[in-house]
Chains A and B, each alone.
Chain A
Amino acid sequence: MSLQQLVERALAGDPVSRAKLVSLFSDTRPEATFDRMEAEEIAQKAQKPHECAFVGCTGAPGVGKSSLLSALVTRLRKQNQARLIAVLAIDPSSPFSGGALLGDRVRMALPEDDSGVFFRSQAADRELGGLSPATFQVCRMLRYLFDLVLVETVGVGQSETDIRHLADCVVLVVQPMVGDDVQLLKAGIMEIPDVIVMNKSDLTPAANQSFRALQTAAVRLLRPTDRSKVTTHRASARTGEGIDDLAALIADTRSNTDRFSEAETYFFEKAVRREFGTYGLDVLEAQGGAERVIEQRGFYEAQRWFARQIVV
């Protein structure tokens, strides 16, 4: 099958072609950049990108990110069959073998015969930041295929903040806590979200107490950017409490094209750092910085061009 056919079929909604196309956007071979550029061109010619909103979902392991996404996707699909949704879920890779267990699907009770939803697991592959090296690239293509993309980050620690660069709206999921745990909220990760959801609100009475603590903490949040106020919500993936409100909130998220070009810069720089280290960053700086390089050459060409600069 030619690339042309692959893209056309994917755009027409063929599940296998769609999946193959997504794989192309995570292919790590240098020559794949070419195919990607080509694929995006074909897609662009065929149609405009959807007004695709990116919503990130982050939070500690086991708080219920996947369960919540599952409930939300089901609700959002029910509300509007025309809205096509993709979910990317990222899991950590083993530092020893490089392999990963991609386990988020366990919680995804999605309707089997609904091809309006696409779910792909990605391995973080030793990348820091909570996403996989391919997440951003894949999202580029998803813009042509879906109306809404939900990204579940790796569920660890507080340095998983890359999602802020990608998403139009970041949802931080927490669960009812006892005592000192509430303190955790004040550190790093709390600076990222636009929305904080306390999931598992069915676990009363711990839920009531923590929710109050959470609201107090959220009010005092110092935000690095001046985006609109952080809102707090209660929800339960188990009982369905709060799912309607959250679904509405997600449905209202608008895609922000400025954000997307900022993301290009950020993830390009990150890729340079990953591949070529600080030396790469120096070279990039000497060429006027990531933003400039992309502006001049476009996203794909910039990558290829840069690789040529650095290899002697």
Chain B
Amino acid sequence: MKTETSTKATSAKKADGHRLVDEDGAPGRDRPWIFRTYSGHTSARASNELYRQNLLQGQTGLSIAFDLPTQCGYDSDHAMSRPEIGKVGVPINSLDDMHVLFDGIPIERMNTSMTINATSMWLLSLYVALAQERGVEVAALRGTTQNDIIKEYLARGTYIFPPPASLELTAQMYEYCLDAIPKWNASNVCSYHLQEAGATPGQELAFALATAMAVLDLVRARGQVPESAFAHVVGRMSFFVNSGIRFVEEMCKMRAFTEMWDHITQHRYGVTDPKRRAFRYGVQVNSLGLTESQPENNAWRIALETLGVTLSRNARCRALQLPAWNEALSLPRPWDQQWALRLQQILAYETDLLEYPDLFDGSPVVASKVAALKEQAQTEIDRIEEMGGVVAAIESGYMKSALVRSMTERVRKIQEGELTWVGVNRWPEAIESPLVSGNDGGLFRVEEGHAQQALAALEQTRRERDTEAAERAIETLKSAAKAGRNLMEPSIACARARVTTGEWAGALRDIFGEYRPATGIDGQPLALENDRVETLRSRIGALTAARGRRPRLLVGKPGLDGHSNGAEVIAVSARHVGFDVIYSGIRLTPSAIVRSAIDEDVDLVGASVLSGSHLELAEQIMTGLRKAGMNSAQVVLGGIVPAEDHAKLEALGIAKVFTPADYELLDTMEQLVELLEARSRNEARPQNQKRPQNQRG
């Protein structure tokens, strides 16, 4: 969860030489950006307590993280949901949960931000229905639904419907909000997640801007928003951006964003008011580069990354949230978050950063770098437009392939030492960190038992509601969807009739269908050619000859976890060294993985789990294989796995566990091949008595 500890970022200061002055010419300093922090929570009741506590301490905004089932449109009692209930956010099954979540909180005075995407319309409907039942004026509600579906297909993974239908829902929300909730930001375009999936600065710029244009173009094409109000819609567009370790380039990227958005809003959409052309953005700094080994170094990385989005006044963020030093180990503990928050406070209040006008205006170096980034981005935007726009470029897999290529390229550079990663590929030897030697090992633990609460509440809702009314509401929703009508009102009616999250999404799944985007790994080269690769290939060649078939590896992403980077990189590398690889993308049930392992008769199943549910999911996979009598496949697992769980996984029958510390892909490949070689040595085939000893002379 993000919590806001300061509210206003705007200020009316002007530049006067090297100083900032206010209206009367008195020197002053800028107000800082909004400080945000993440915190996890597990049930509607627990979250409510947390919010109320924060509000007592003077916080005025709420930022809500939902658990993966809620984000993917499943009820808590769906088979896919079980291991994930309440893990990374609050589970919301129905309006009853919303009443608990906001119990005692005056929503008419809140600015509520929801990190929700495919089910955005549903969560907004629940929020509106809550206001209605409480007698709060709906128009007074304020807040944001993240609602950027494009980056879900590309990086974050909580998509449901095909792209055209999903974008229509977003457009419908803009239309509804325009009059009904004018202070609601219907969506927030994210490039943050793209960088986490490997995007270069040019790709980040291009993909985010192209996404924003796709939404605005659609709103305009639908013709429901009057011409006069369109500038308002444009002005509502906001962004969520990443800031990586190359902080000078990142600073230039932010200036490029600002300039390009100004141009687009003016020329493509004819917005004349400069205020409505402002590039409004929040930031989370890069986490992909934060390491498991020597985790204390991450503190420095985070500090440097912060500079990229704060140094340049003209391109400074409006809100900032920082990951914690133990990012690659687990969710942050409260102390970790406090430490991260202190960094922001030191930067904003101890340093002189906020006393100056823009430091880079007029710098030829910066201007030239910005121009170069803009050109890269424009070339990419043009290419996407030529393909028919973002939807076409998603469906053809073009954008995803581009990201996977960047990601594999990044990984290759790390392998070859072209990219320095301190404590990983350089200076790996170090004194052990005292930070991880505490009682809890520097790890956050989720409290047990909350899942039960969510399940009980859901059951109660189902039991107490007027079933017929709920069914009628669903039917109305479905027929509106079939007819292409705006679904906000029917969804609000569903919310009030105690329709559940899974039912709402299920009804629309029936009409729109479900979508699985391209995995982007087809035909991806890995530009890694060396002796070790050659040796691996010949070892696999030898295995192939000895066993009469090329080793088959199934890379599987069980559960609702959307972290695909690791699985993609492993799949690409495995093919590169000669495996036949089966990879079907994210969000598979353990039983689907078992089924694939059997039908495909694979030698290895490689599960990748970063959501923290590895124990449950590994157990389900192992049980499934055993029950079916599939004994020939060995199972390995990779992801965020705390050290103490390794033994538990091995006890379940997992042959090997890999974590971010195993960044050396060829080491990993060698270990996989070793497993197969060991198995091959004592393999038994069905015996055929008649088979002669010598076949081909």
Contacts and interface: CB of A to CB of B under 8 A. Distances in A.
A binds B: yes
Interface of A: 1-3, 6, 14-16, 19-20, 22-24, 26-32, 34-35, 38, 62, 93-94, 97-103, 105-109, 112-113, 118-121, 123, 125, 238-239, 304, 307-308, 311-312
B476 interface: no
A103 B519 contact: yes
Contact of B628 (A15, A32, A108, A109): A15
A118 B598 CA distance: 10
Contacts of B575: 94, 97, 99-101
A73 to B, nearest CB: 13
Interface in B510-527: 513-514, 516, 518-519, 521-523
Given A109-B514, A311-B696, A101 B571 contact: yes
Interface string B535-574: 0010011001001111000000000000000000001001
Determine chain B's interface SS by DSSP, over half rule: loop
Contacts of A38: 688, 690
Interface of B: 162, 396-397, 513-514, 516, 518-519, 521-523, 537, 540-541, 544, 547-550, 571, 574-585, 589, 591-592, 595-596, 598-601, 628-630, 632, 686-688, 690-692, 695-697
Given A28-B548, A307-B695, A105 B596 contact: yes
B541 A29 contact: no
Across chains A and B, which 10 residue pairs bring their CB atoms closest together, nearest first?
A: A29-B548, A27-B548, A99-B575, A30-B695, A19-B601, A105-B584, A97-B578, A3-B686, A99-B578, A311-B697
Q: Which residue, B396, B397, B518, B584, has most C-beta atoms of chain A within 10 A?
A: B584
Nearest to B685: A35
B599 A102 contact: no
Given A105-B596, A123-B550, A16 B629 contact: yes
21 contacts: A3-B687, A15-B598, A15-B599, A19-B601, A24-B686, A30-B695, A34-B688, A97-B576, A98-B550, A99-B575, A99-B581, A101-B521, A101-B522, A102-B583, A102-B600, A103-B521, A105-B600, A106-B519, A119-B596, A120-B600, A121-B580
Contact of B582 (A14, A94, A121): A121
B577 A102 contact: no
A41 to B, nearest CB: 10
Contacts, number: 141
Contacts of B696: 30, 307-308, 311
A99 B601 contact: no
A106 B579 contact: no
A272 B599 CA distance: 29
A32 B548 contact: yes
B397 A34 contact: no
A23 B591 CA distance: 21
Given A2-B686, A119-B599, 9 more contacts: A1-B686, A16-B598, A29-B548, A62-B396, A103-B521, A103-B583, A105-B584, A112-B592, A311-B696
Nearest to A4: B686
Nearest to B518: A106
A110 B147 CA distance: 29
Contacts of B601: 19-20, 22-23, 120
Contacts of B697: 308, 311-312
A101 B696 CA distance: 32
A6 B601 CA distance: 14
A236 to B, nearest CB: 10
A23 B582 contact: no
B599 A31 contact: no
A308 B595 CA distance: 40
A35 B628 contact: no
A108 to B, nearest CB: 8
Contacts of A118: 599
Q: Which residue, A22, A99, A239, A311, has most C-beta atoms of chain B within 10 A?
A: A99
B141 to A, nearest CB: 35
B592 A35 contact: no
Contacts of B513: 238-239
